[in-house]
């Protein structure tokens, strides 16, 4: 089975994440996309609690056939390294042929990763082109420009006007926004 591993912070998950999973399924020849929220960012970036990010991912990707959310990183050693996650998935599912989904913007940072060559060996990258980070001979940039940083700022300022609420509703699935509100995240 061809499986795309889609890792990230998902802090919070938004429409570009949803579009990416759908795009990968539609164009990459995959039977499944496994969404894997990082437990702890390897570059020490502060994140919302893991349990909340997993729950938001489950809401975000609910109903998208072929997409599953995994909390595998909760059981792995810290810090979270992509290579370790891929090794565990590969050992638990030896019949899966893995590819690692990554944005073209992340390619510039792979020299900072823990054993990127190991990542590429276990799960060769499936690169999704982001606007402003086009690659020569690569796929066209089809995904909307959405920033989790911008979303967190909009949530923090949501009470300040209808403009923030309107922008949020175009960037984040309603069921994720509801979860953010229910749990008072990003305030």
**pLDDT tens by residue, 37-62:** 999 887 778 999 999 999 999 999 99
Contact 67, 25 (CB under 8 A): yes
Strand residue runs (E) in 32-185: 32-37, 67-69, 97-103, 125-128
**CATH superfamily assigned to domain 2-182:** HUPs (3.40.50.620)
35 half-sphere exposure, CB direction, 13 A CA radius = 29
pLDDT bin (cut points 50, 70, 90) of residue 18 is very high
Q: Provide the whole-model pTM.
A: 0.92
pLDDT at res. 101: 96
């Amino acid at each position: 089975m061809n499986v795309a591993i889609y890792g990230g912070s998902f802090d919070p998950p938004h429409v570009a994440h949803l579009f990416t999973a759908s795009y990968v399924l539609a164009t990459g020849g995959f039977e499944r996309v496994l969404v894997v929220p990082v437990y702890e960012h390897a570059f020490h970036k502060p994140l919302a609690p893991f349990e909340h990010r997993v729950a938001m991912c489950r809401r975000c990707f609910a109903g998208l056939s072929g997409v599953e959310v995994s909390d595998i990183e909760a059981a792995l050693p810290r810090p979270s390294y992509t290579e370790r996650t891929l090794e565990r998935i590969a050992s638990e599912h030896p019949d899966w042929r893995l590819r690692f989904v990554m944005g073209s913007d992340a390619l510039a940072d792979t020299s900072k990763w823990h054993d990127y060559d190991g990542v590429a060996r276990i799960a060769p990258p499936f690169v999704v082109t982001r606007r402003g980070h086009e690659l020569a001979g690569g796929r066209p940039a089809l995904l909307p420009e959405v920033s989790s940083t911008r979303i967190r700022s909009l949530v923090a300022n949501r009470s300040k006007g209808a403009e923030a609420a309107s922008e949020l509703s175009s960037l984040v699935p309603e069921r994720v926004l509801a979860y953010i509100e229910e749990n008072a995240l990003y305030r």
